[in-house]
Chains A and B, each alone.
Chain A
């Protein structure tokens, strides 16, 4: 059989190309009703009264009092109501649903409902926020001592903005009730998150709830926890009305009110000795969590764990908090806290280099972590760190250092620039999450006639999991990948193999499938149905202590080097990206074309984060909330990415594969910022670096 990495045709290719794949909005449910959300007009208020007009026959209100269980969305903390009909904490917060057969009539009812509020003073600015959802701090060495000994201190602040996932398929779910069972169908990453949320909402037993993922048109984290909210809403509606209830959001609702990447303020302070060695680094990170806790505490953890990047600095202190503001709750987005701090540490290193008159790469070179080094939190980089080889490769394909020097001294209207970023991403859940919370379980079902089916809760949202999982099992069993069955998960059939998040699917769940397939192969019995079950086993790590923020935060790491090349027109301030080069160590790719797709797509999402994806708030309302005013890259804004993979098989993943999905987004922004600095000789402390910002920078120079 072929090498696992050899590209195959994706198993869901045909139905997606010919338009026959059914996304949630494409599916007709018999006798279904539409639902639309009444949303808060106030950022912080008590609701005194809701005046509902007389409803025509067949139209209903579904609200908090209809929730048979707990009117809270089960995520990590139970703080977010399913229907906020007594108190609201952000503009757009769902108060109730109007449900009925005709959308036009529903909209009229929504317009007629009057909500009487008693307003309170909202908090919009994260710097003024008093309440924090989570706070952590860790220290290595002796930071006080380092700053006492310092001969100079370099201190600066960074800001990173919102980023909207902008998956092409808008959020949508359908609830239905049949024979004592409530089902939710929809676009989602984590069916068991939705299941647990619905069980809590209905206050019912596990076997009374069923969740089915429908073909999902992109997620990028945006469909990790948000479907638990709307899934609970339609479940309550379907349970009350005993009919299917469709809640398909509009783009403007989705962009205005669903979870996004946390805006962040990051303070970096470095202590240098008299020989210009960095002897200490003090980092302080604030994330804007929005109105409810969602997954913010875990996002913050990853942000703090990435704060020192790929460097070994002898004395460090990192602390951070995620604060509560009266704005839409933020949540998961590819990279999960990593992109914010990776931008900051990489750019800070460049600025320190500038102060001590060397190039960023010369400075970074002195501090790269090496195999066997301790991590910032007292864990260990026990697998091979191949950063030197990766940088050599990046130099080879991009001619980085020569261009960097050349562009620094160029004059003219069009200024060229090139920038590099070096970064890592921990694979899997942070800390002991896999062992203590997720406890993944997978099954392989072999029928009497020898057909093997993968039973897992993980979802394909475009990243190719249907194909890669089949390849893993097929390779072990020496079968054709097309002969393995793996359907969109239905919680009535699949065990909880955990969420599709945190770059864990291939490494963690894929490994379990590899093990299950090996056992099936060894115990294969002809003409007999067999079920093989595998459970998560925690690797031998330095135990993670969340209180002390100490130990191995991740079992292994994937690594990346990105180079971005730009041309800036100093008269119009427009920037053209002229080259992107990348080198990644993701262990071994399970499929080269699928991996290339992750790289091309992830790096370009990162480019959007760096350059054009600007989202701002005014008085608690997002100013950009449509595809027209929130600008994501088009085909004309990007160039082909030249990429090289450095093989580094890791025994924790199937066939040596590590996590790869998020890593690809993390490094573009700092490389882009570095390129802008190289072109213009300015200092970047904020992303996105919009043309307006560049214009100001040029004028102020």
Chain B
């Protein structure tokens, strides 16, 4: 019999009887209908499924729900409405950081995780910070400009 698992997702406490080996990505998407995290590769290479777990950027396709109990899990849906999200959203718009948008929720999470650790990043910090998130449309540079712009404008927020 499955034990009850308790998860904290986007500031809500969720209990589930699902198998503890279920991938966090599947739990978010199938059980919670949280579809901001996307499946791009299923093997931790592309970052489209990236979420923040206790301040760390993590690919949710590589994590089982049993391993993240009692931890704070944040997806792009949980970031919506925050001041940090607003700034990232505007700066991504102005810099033209979004094309097909499939990598974007993951990129937003990567940007937020990076700025939370390094509020005033250099260009090279940003390149490092999003190096685990693949984008096939933009060639990255406009995303990098967006994140640098957000760091500048959101001075003090992160």
Give chain A's interface residues, CB within 8 Å of chain B: 7, 9-10, 12-23, 25-26, 28, 165-170, 215-218, 220, 250-251, 461-464, 593-594, 596-597, 600-605, 626-628, 632-636, 638-641
Contact = CB atoms under 8 A, between A and B. Distances in A.
Interface string B26-63: 00010001011111111101101000000000000000
A168 B96 contact: no
B93 interface: yes
Given A168-B48, A627-B134, A636-B127, A13 B38 contact: no
Interface string B6-26: 000000000000000000000
Nearest to B99: A462
B151 interface: no
Interface string B91-102: 011111011111
Contacts of B143: 635
Given A19-B75, A19-B105, A166-B136, A597 B96 contact: yes
Given A169-B38, A638-B141, A594 B96 contact: yes
A604 B88 CA distance: 24
B116 interface: no
B59 to A, nearest CB: 12
A620 to B, nearest CB: 24
B25 to A, nearest CB: 11
Nearest to A220: B136
B80 A18 contact: yes
Given A21-B101, A25-B29, A462-B101, 19 more contacts: A10-B96, A10-B98, A13-B89, A17-B88, A19-B77, A25-B39, A165-B136, A167-B100, A218-B99, A218-B136, A462-B137, A593-B95, A597-B138, A603-B139, A604-B140, A626-B45, A627-B40, A627-B46, A635-B128
A597 B136 CA distance: 11
Please indicate which of the listed interface residues A9, A220, A597, A636 has the most CB atoms of chain B within 10 Å of its own CB.
Answer: A597
Interface string B135-158: 111111111100000000000000
Please indicate which of the listed interface residues B40, B76, B96, B127 has the most CB atoms of chain A within 10 Å of its own CB.
Answer: B96
Contacts of A17: 76, 88-89, 92-93, 98, 101, 104-105, 108
Contacts of A463: 99, 137
A700 B133 CA distance: 37
A600 B101 contact: no
Contacts of A600: 138-142
Contacts of A167: 100, 102, 136
Nearest to A608: B136
Interface in B101-119: 101-105, 108
B108 to A, nearest CB: 6
Contacts, number: 171
B130 interface: yes
B36 A19 contact: yes
7 nearest A-B pairs in the assembled complex, by CB-CB distance: A19-B36, A462-B100, A16-B101, A217-B102, A604-B139, A462-B99, A593-B96
Please indicate which of the listed interface residues A167, A217, A641 has the most CB atoms of chain B within 10 Å of its own CB.
Answer: A217
B44 to A, nearest CB: 8
A7 to B, nearest CB: 7
21 contacts: A9-B93, A9-B94, A17-B92, A18-B36, A19-B36, A19-B76, A26-B29, A26-B35, A28-B33, A167-B102, A168-B38, A168-B48, A168-B103, A217-B38, A217-B100, A596-B142, A597-B137, A600-B138, A601-B136, A626-B45, A638-B140
A16 B104 contact: yes
A13 B45 contact: no
A354 to B, nearest CB: 31
B104 to A, nearest CB: 5
Given A17-B88, A251-B42, A593-B96, A601 B139 contact: yes
A16 B35 CA distance: 11
Nearest to A7: B96
B139 A626 contact: no
Nearest to A14: B89
A605 B102 CA distance: 17
B48 to A, nearest CB: 6
B64 interface: no
B100 A216 contact: yes
A10 B41 contact: no
A165 B136 CA distance: 8
B96 A218 contact: no
A143 B127 CA distance: 52
A169 B128 CA distance: 23
Given A250-B42, A635-B144, A169 B102 contact: yes
Contacts of A636: 127-128, 131
Contacts of B135: 168, 635
A26 B28 CA distance: 11
Contacts of A605: 136, 139
Contact of B76 (A10, A18, A593): A18
Nearest to A12: B101
A168 B46 contact: yes
Contacts of B75: 19
Contacts of A220: 136
A600 B96 CA distance: 11
Nearest to A606: B139
B15 to A, nearest CB: 22
A641 B139 contact: yes
Contact of B99 (A19, A597, A635): A597
A165 B33 CA distance: 29
Nearest to B124: A636
A635 B40 contact: no
Contacts of B46: 168, 627
A462 B102 CA distance: 9
